[in-house]
Structure 1
């Protein structure tokens, strides 16, 4: 049985350790607001005013085509919250979340040892202060996957935890690509940020 640690335990870790535990993928580890040209004002404002957004459970909803930098900005916002406001956080794609559910179900209700965090699923639902759910409209198109993913956001919203969501189709298409409930929840709990198709990421490393 994996030992459960509450939010106070994780917040007491160093900011470098909390950043490492967020499992930001290598392709996004250099994502900063400082190396994205023309950062939308709504994103900068959200991060400046993070304490009040954290209290209310208000996240961000990025929508844009592939290459628009939505994952870059989502990770930059996550990283800013972790390092500037002593938050706990985690990055995960929609399909990796569903894959974790499958692995748990096929392993007698326990995540296999290949997962660094055995409590990943309950932590995502009810412990991490800030979670990035990337590529939500790329989720497996089954009723099971859609329902479970919608339930994840519902659990986080009920606890007023911050969720940062990215999608590449229009926001309203989330009604069909996920569920109507997911669309309703994400519109109610996130600041929408629609990005243009141009790639605004600059090739700055370690900025």
Structure 2
């Protein structure tokens, strides 16, 4: 890496303060390196590193209006953070291929670069496996040590919540994480392809169970779904596969 032409690689520059005194402050190159380090520390997968709000392209034929509305909500959230969001997060709900993860990562990257946020990205299944690893005697970390960054991250993305088969341990773990973040007034951004509806009530026959669409309430429990709806702004997304539409538009077909 070549030396910065402004600071000569030391990371500091001398500027005059409002009081007319010469003071030192971090050079822009140093600030840029700090941003890059925060992005790297956020554990954003490589395939999502280029996902920004500006690159969420929906200018294609038959794009559903809900996608444009979701993008507007994402931008407003960034503009309002952290004063007006007051610990609220975002819950992106919709079928696969609508760009839910793209928007979630786009929000996190903007917050990291523009607000200096310390964030974390976890796929839901990866998150549960990460926590379970504390039970492995070869892992030199306790469950609390593994959970601490997840519980304390200023902004946490949980991608594709509900994909893990529900068990008592899964429900208890999800409840612990979400309740801790709710009580700490920390923003959590969540994506799911399950409809954000309660579990089916009453006794259902096998054909009725097979015909009924599985809901997020079925996967994480109704009490946690209620908590999610309380701690997040719900963003419903509809339409055809966003990724396939963009590919077709890119090739001009």
TM-score range relative to shorter protein: 0.7 to 0.9
Query: Counterparts of 1:71-86 in structure 2 under 5 Å?
Result: 71-86=101-116
Q: Deviations over 1:46-91 (max 9, x none)?
A: 111112245x111100011110110111111111111110110000
Q: Secondary structure at the match of 1:35?
A: coil
Once the two structures are TM-superposed, the CA of residue 175 in structure 1 deviates from its matched residue by 1.8
* Counterpart among 95, 99, 119 of residue 69 in structure 1: 99
Q: TM-score, normalised by structure 1?
A: 0.81
2:107, 2:193 → 1: CA distance?
18
Query: Counterparts of 1:183-198 in structure 2 under 5 Å?
Result: 183-198=225-240
1:120, 1:78 → 2: CA distance?
21
Once the two structures are TM-superposed, the CA of residue 200 in structure 1 deviates from its matched residue by 3.8
Bigger shift: 97-106 or 30-39?
30-39
Once the two structures are TM-superposed, the CA of residue 158 in structure 1 deviates from its matched residue by 0.6
1:149, 1:109 → 2: CA distance?
22
* Counterpart among 122, 125, 133 of residue 148 in structure 2: 122
* Counterpart among 40, 45, 48 of residue 79 in structure 2: 48
1:105, 1:122 → 2: CA distance?
16
Q: Deviations over 1:15-74 (max 9, x none)?
A: 1100110010011111011111344222111111112245x1111000111101101111
Could you say which residue in structure 1 is the equivalent of 2:124? 94
1:198, 1:29 → 2: CA distance?
24
Unaligned runs of 5+ in 1: 1-12, 113-117
The answer to whether the 8 A contact 2:42-2:121 is kept is: yes
1:110, 1:49 → 2: CA distance?
40
Relative contact order higher in (CA < 8 Å, ≥ 6 apart): 1
Q: Secondary structure at the match of 1:67?
A: coil
Greater radius of gyration (CA) = 2
The answer to whether the 8 A contact 2:134-2:146 is kept is: no
Unaligned runs of 5+ in 2: 1-32, 59-67, 198-214, 248-253
2:129, 2:120 → 1: CA distance?
16
* Counterpart among 141, 158, 162 of residue 133 in structure 1: 158
Structure 1 61/53 Cα, relative in aligned 2: closer, same or farther at 3 Å? farther
1:44, 1:146 → 2: CA distance?
32
